[in-house]
Structure 1
């Protein structure tokens, strides 16, 4: 950690918010002298204070800690690059279309790594919707918390809860794959059935 870089960033963001040191201190229930020490690089915020500080300055936890704001090239928003972040403390689900600094409950979250499912959900295509069933455990300690269909430009997500039966209908999305999250084993993906189109007659 670099005290001076973080202090300079706090000062820059505070001024962008249009507040003085005393006003920022009031939001954090500390003294203006403490804020002044941070900004001069003669002190560093306690880690427990970072969630409130990041909220007051409207910046993510990781940027404050590193003292740098990362500038990213504008993302095209292709959902095939969708990333899932799940907070182990509160269960909050956050999605982004590219890598990002995500913080929840004071912790920096890592994107879930997608695994190929060996024990797949049972998925059938009927008319224009998928029928999804599974005998996967659904106890409070071990259950599937969501099932999603994702293509390049569409996402459908169904939230599930402990002690529910997994028997649901999901709208058909062309070219989609299915993703589902097990609270014990992580994020999985599997292919789903696609409509069978009759072959067009060839011209002679």
Structure 2
């Protein structure tokens, strides 16, 4: 399986267009960056040209190699976000209409995937069909929703965001919607339906 197919399968979360700028600013070749991450230079070339995205497991080490925080790398607009602490609750979600890849950006950006533009999603309060519950169980938020999980209609991901962090749980057809998140503070739960869009609700007070 090549790097692009691996990326599509894992639905990586990354603003890929910033990689080339950061790599060149640090005097790294594609080969040098690739070797430090354990991938091929062809994979890096695909990331920089928008024909593929890194696996989610590579996001943190990639940010470290490029000398930038994960939040800044996700934001995409490096100059606008340099040396600025990001508030993850103010981020915007962009979703690929073809493969379901998602980008969480702290600033405005232009993202594409599978040859299509990724448009920003406006989060809404849950309607009757997407009214998920958030329950605290020990040190975790337990999110549940009774929702169709078919090939054509399903919950694509659930995310838990606080001011200084965000955690994603990718879901697939035939799975149940029952993700758990370790509690790191009060924040928001986001839930994305592939047919009806993005919904959000505040986590309960501790």
TM-score range, shorter chain: 0.5 to 0.7
Where do 5+ consecutive residues of structure 2 fail to align?
A: 1-20, 25-44, 52-76
Deviation at residue 167 of structure 1 after TM alignment: 2.3
Q: Give the corresponding residue for 1:133.
A: 144
Pairs aligned (count) = 134
Q: Give the equivalent residue in structure 1 for 2:135.
A: 124
Structure with the larger helix share: 2
1:151 aligns to 2:162 (yes or no): yes
1:187 matched to 2:198? The reply is yes
* Deviation at residue 72 of structure 1 after TM alignment: 4.9
Query: Residues 149 and 173 of structure 1 are in contact (CA less than 8 Å); yes or no, is this contact kept in structure 2?
Result: no
1:153 Cα deviation (Å)? Answer: 0.2
The structure showing larger relative contact order (alpha-carbon pairs under 8 Å, at least 6 residues apart) is 2
SS in 1 for 2:80: coil
Within the candidate set 158, 181, 185, 1:170 is matched to 181
Taking the TM superposition and a 5 Å limit, the aligned residue runs for 1:25-174 are: 58=48, 72-74=79-81, 76=84, 77-119=86-128, 120-174=131-185
Q: Which of these two proteins has the greater Rg computed from alpha carbons? A: 1
> Secondary structure of the equivalent of 1:180?
strand
Normalising by structure 2, report the TM-score. 0.58
Moved over 6 A (4+): none
Task: Confirm or deny: 8 A CA contact 1:125 1:194 kept in the other structure.
Answer: no
Q: What is the Cα-based RMSD across aligned positions, in Å?
A: 2.5
Structure 2 distance, partners of 1:71, 1:140, is 37
Taking structure 1 as the reference length, what is the TM-score of the superposition?
0.58
Any unmatched runs of 5+ in structure 1?
A: 1-12, 17-54, 62-69, 196-204
